[in-house]
Amino acid sequence: MRRLFLLCLLNAVVLVSSAQSNTQPQPSSPFPFEIALYKPDSTLFNSKQVFKTGKPTVFAFWLTTCVPCMAELASYTEQYTNWKKEVDFQLFAVSIDYPQRFRFIAPLVKEKKWPFPVYWDRERTFKSILPGGLNGLPQVFLFDRNGALVWQHKGYYPGFEHELFAKIKELK
């Protein structure tokens, strides 16, 4: 029993000290990366052409078949204009759909009227460089002005967008 208590106490100390150090695992490749990305119209870009440092940057990863992803992006759409008035930041929606689903991205973007840039990571390169490998969607990654990953979140629940915006405002 005492051994179990000491083990629990040790785990608590480790959790508290890792929370206090606030070390966020970083991507294996530096921001703005070197990733081939497609716009919904099939225009090819390199991530270095579109992702810039100097502003907080949000990456929202999604799939066309992901219902929570659609809810998350809808909540961002509702808030985006007001958020941009308050804080100068970048938000990119990045699909990691398989190639056979690419044809659904452009109609979806048009129908939903997403006000932020949307890209497709055809090769799913982000999975290999971001901490956690994009295991589970939706996933959001927040980078500071210098391109350091400062926060990430998996899943979506109503109200999450307010938590994200609070984190963005902390980086002002």
Res 22: pLDDT: 55
pLDDT in single tens digits along all 172 residues of the chain: 444 333 333 333 333 333 334 589 999 999 999 999 999 999 999 999 999 999 999 999 999 999 999 999 999 999 999 999 999 999 999 999 999 999 999 999 999 999 999 999 999 999 999 999 999 999 999 999 999 999 999 999 999 999 999 999 999 8
Which residue range is the domain that position 100 belongs to?
A: 27-170
The answer to whether residue 80 is domain-embedded is yes
Residue 63 lies in a domain: yes
CATH number of the domain that residue 111 is part of: 3.40.30.10
Query: Is 33 part of a structural domain of the chain?
Result: yes
- Answer whether residue 21 is part of any domain: no
Alpha helix locations (H) across 2-135? Answer: 2-21, 47-50, 67-86, 105-112, 125-129
54, 68, 146 from 37: Cα distances, Å:
21, 23, 21
How many Cα atoms sit within 13 Å of 19 on the Cβ side?
A: 6
Longest Cα–Cα distance of the chain, Å, equals 63
Helices (H), 22-46: none
**114 in a structural domain:** yes
Q: How many domains does the chain have?
A: 1
22 domain-assigned: no
120: phi then psi, degrees, rounded to nearest 5: -120, 125
Residue at 38 is within a domain? yes
